[in-house]
Amino acid sequence: MDYKDYYKILGVEKGATQDEIKRSYRKLARKFHPDVSKEEDAEVKFKEVGEAYEVLKDPEKREAYDQLGSNWKAGQEGFQPPPDWEQNFDFGGGGYTQGNAQDYSSFFEDLFGGGRAGGQYYQSGSAGQGGFQSRGENVRAKVMIDLEDSFNGTTQSLNLQSPEVNEQGQVVNKQRTLNVKIPKGVKEGQTIRLAKQGNPGMGGGERGDLLLEIGFKPHKLYTFDGKDIYLNVPVAPWEATLGAKIDVPTPDGKKVGMKVPADSQQGRKLRLKGKGLPGKNMGDFYVVLQVTLPPSSDPKVKAYNEKMRDEIDFNPRSYLF
């Protein structure tokens, strides 16, 4: 297993006081909380910070950790705690840790135990004997899909880790692969509920649910807002002024002819009803006009613009003064 430098993870000096550790932990927990942070690996970092704090907040565990850690560098492979390292401390039986040890790294588990404590729980009761029974936890995950997937529906393969109890009554993380059908018309931020695909219950209780949050990968053309889709479409200055008929690619992969009304200002939104995301209540598709200037390096463009400047009476800033 790899050695983990808990001080570095929390961004504190080795001699930090308990208060400094607490402050640093709270700050990092807020920063990396998966519900708050937009960073990709927020969840991993949040767990890492939690694990580090679990050890360093407890003076006894911290002392034990300090003793064994001084000669190792973070990330070094093949770390083995010396056989007698816990001589002066009693962690080996597990159950010492209040935190959910399965959530922590194997480094943590090897030092402070944990999984075994949970195991006793599982063994103590089974369905029908009136023992302890509870429903499994809901599991949350996020999948990123393409816009096209929402139009056509798709199947996504997910790798999930869930704690399960083996024959020895130990909690082990089991990897499983689920192929999940993503229904047509799903929108960004919606949640797909897969009944009884969460963590197993205790003592014969039923499994929790799997809640899949849907995110959309950025699209090279379109942006999204709920069920509505937006596209920036460049138009020439004369198209915006005189009106025009232009071809626009719609999100369903087709092409549609659109009328640009005369005197359309920059940023004007044109709506194509029902051309947004499909589904029970269909979204709309908005074309946002972007007036795009031809380059003045073209002598013709230059000549025409000079002519406009000299002959047209137009002051766009009249309202400023």
CB of 206 to other proteins, least distance (A): 11
Taken in order 149, 150, 155, 157, the sign of the CA dihedral is: positive
Region binding other proteins by CB under 8 A among candidate stretches 53-61, 174-182, 254-262, 298-306: 174-182
CA–CA separation, 286 and 288 (whole Å): 6
- From the CB of 211, what's the least distance to other proteins, in Å? 7
Applying CB under 8 A, which of residues 149, 209, 270, 275 lies at the interface with other proteins?
209
Q: C-beta of 197: minimal distance to other proteins in Å?
A: 6
* CB nearer to other proteins: pick between 14 and 176: 176
- In degrees and rounded to multiples of 5, residue 117 shows phi and psi of -60, -40
Cα(234)–Cα(249) distance, integer angstroms: 13
The count of chain residues that interact with other proteins, using the rule CB under 8 A, is 47
Which residue in the set 1, 74, 160, 192 belongs to the binding site for other proteins (CB under 8 A)? 192
> How far apart are CB 158 and other proteins at their closest, in Å?
10
Q: Is 71 in the site for other proteins (CB under 8 A)?
A: no
Is 90 a binding residue for other proteins by CB under 8 A? The answer is no
Residue 87: HSE in the Cβ half-sphere, 13 Å Cα cutoff: 7
Instruction: List CB contacts of 105: < 8 A, sequence separation 6 or more.
Output: 1, 2, 4, 48, 51
Determine phi and psi for 196, rounding to 5 degrees. Answer: 60, 35
Q: Does 178 bind other proteins (CB under 8 A)?
A: yes
- State phi, psi for 100 to the nearest 5 degrees: -80, 95
- Least Å distance, CB 36 to other proteins, is 7
Query: Of residues 91, 96, 230, 304, which one binds other proteins by CB under 8 A?
Result: 230
Distance from C-alpha of 147 to C-alpha of 216, rounded to nearest angstrom: 7
291 binds other proteins per the rule CB under 8 A: no
Binding residue (CB under 8 A) for other proteins from 23, 57, 116, 140:
140
Q: Which of 135, 141, 241, 268 binds other proteins (CB under 8 A)?
A: 135
Residue that is written with structure tokens 């020895």 in the block: 168
Which range touches other proteins (CB under 8 A), out of 75-83, 123-131, 181-189, 298-306?
A: 181-189
Nearer to other proteins, 14 or 193 (CB): 193
Beta strands per DSSP E along the chain = 139-145, 154-165, 171-182, 191-194, 210-216, 222-225, 228-235, 244-249, 255-260, 269-272, 285-291
Token output for 31: 């920063």
Among 197, 235, 277, 283, binds other proteins (CB under 8 A): 197
| Minimum distance from residue 235 beta carbon to other proteins (Å) | 16
102 binding other proteins? (CB under 8 A): no
Judged by CB under 8 A, does residue 199 bind other proteins? Answer: no
- Tell me the window of 1-9, 100-108, 190-198, 256-264 that interacts with other proteins (CB under 8 A): 190-198
Q: Cα(85)–Cα(108) distance, rounded to whole angstroms?
A: 14
| DSSP letters spanning 205-264 | PPP--EEEEEEEPPPSSEEEETTEEEEEEEE-HHHHHH-EEEEEE-TTS-EEEEEEPTTP
Residue 134 is given by DSSP the state B
Between the two ends of the chain, the Cα-to-Cα distance in Å is: 71
Considering beta carbons, is residue 44 or 262 the nearer one to other proteins?
Answer: 44
Residues engaged in binding other proteins (CB under 8 A): 26, 29-30, 33, 35-36, 46, 50, 135, 137-138, 140, 155, 176-181, 183, 185-186, 189-195, 197, 208-213, 218, 220-221, 223-225, 230, 232, 279-280, 288
